[in-house]
């Protein structure tokens, strides 16, 4: 393979100390590194093995990542967070992770990358404090937490009425002010508590609707 002149000049100043490769390996074992950092460190290891060293720029970025995760104050903060990350926080993290995983699957998006999967599938995995706070603290996540933890306003077997104020763009707006029977309260990850219902006037018409679009019906007995 012919190395471009610019690359050749850069590699003449490469860092060749094999201990750097060992440091890269140790850093990759730290659970709290981000998905991007993990991929970058993997590429550094491959580059070191291929070119027998790193460019000054590669080494500079590596040192920043290393300092970020090995600085005594950072390690102290991480250890404190591990103690704080109790069963309640783990439960909340899983609720939100399932919400994002379901949202990504429905919409073809990639919010939070591999993080939701790690939280759901590995009970020993602990996200960083920043990840946890950003992931669970936004308004979407807060609604998903409420939907998963609060009791259903309309339980299975009850009758509710579709609100008249439902948006005309909603696919079930044509049924506004009609009564529905609650067949089930869906347990999968949702931003709002959602039920499967059928029209009392036409039981064969079964659909899903968020409970926020329902109100009490005078026919509920």
Does the pTM exceed 0.85? no
In 3-state terms, what secondary structure has residue 64? helix
Q: What sign does the dihedral 206-212-218-221 (CA atoms) show?
A: positive
pLDDT value of residue 176: 84
The predicted-structure confidence for 5-47, as pLDDT tens digits, reads as follows 434 445 668 899 999 999 999 999 988 888 889 999 999 999 9
Q: What is the pLDDT of residue 5?
A: 40
> What is the per-residue pLDDT across 83-121, written as a single tens digit (0 to 9) for each?
999 999 999 999 999 999 999 988 899 999 899 999 999
Q: Report the pLDDT value the prediction gives residue 98, as an integer from 0 to 100.
A: 94
- Which residue ranges make up each domain of the chain? 5-70, 86-149, 159-216
Contacts by 103-109, CB closer than 8 A, 24 or more apart: 103/189, 103/191
Residue 162 CB-half CA count within 13 A: 27
């Amino acid at each position: 393979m012919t190395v471009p002149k610019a690359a050749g000049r850069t590699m003449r100043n490469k860092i060749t100390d094999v201990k750097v490769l060992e440091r890269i390996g140790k850093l990759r074992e730290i659970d709290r590194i981000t998905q991007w950092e993990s991929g970058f460190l993997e590429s550094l290891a491959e580059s070191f093995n291929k070119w027998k060293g790193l460019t000054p720029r590669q080494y500079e970025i590596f040192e920043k990542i290393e300092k970020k995760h090995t600085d005594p104050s950072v390690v102290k903060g991480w250890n404190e967070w591990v103690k704080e990350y109790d069963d309640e926080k783990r439960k909340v993290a899983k609720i939100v992770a399932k919400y994002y995983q379901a949202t990504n699957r429905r919409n073809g998006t990639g919010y939070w990358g591999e993080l939701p999967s790690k939280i759901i599938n590995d009970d020993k995995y602990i996200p960083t404090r920043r990840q946890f706070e950003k992931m669970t603290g936004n308004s979407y996540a807060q609604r998903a937490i409420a939907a998963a933890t609060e009791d259903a306003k309309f339980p299975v077997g009850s009758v509710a009425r579709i609100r008249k104020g439902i948006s005309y763009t909603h696919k079930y707006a044509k049924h506004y002010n009609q009564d529905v029977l609650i067949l089930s309260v869906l347990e999968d990850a949702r931003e709002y508590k959602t039920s499967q219902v059928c029209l009392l006037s036409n039981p064969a018409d079964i659909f899903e609707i968020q409970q926020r679009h329902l109100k009490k019906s005078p026919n509920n007995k």
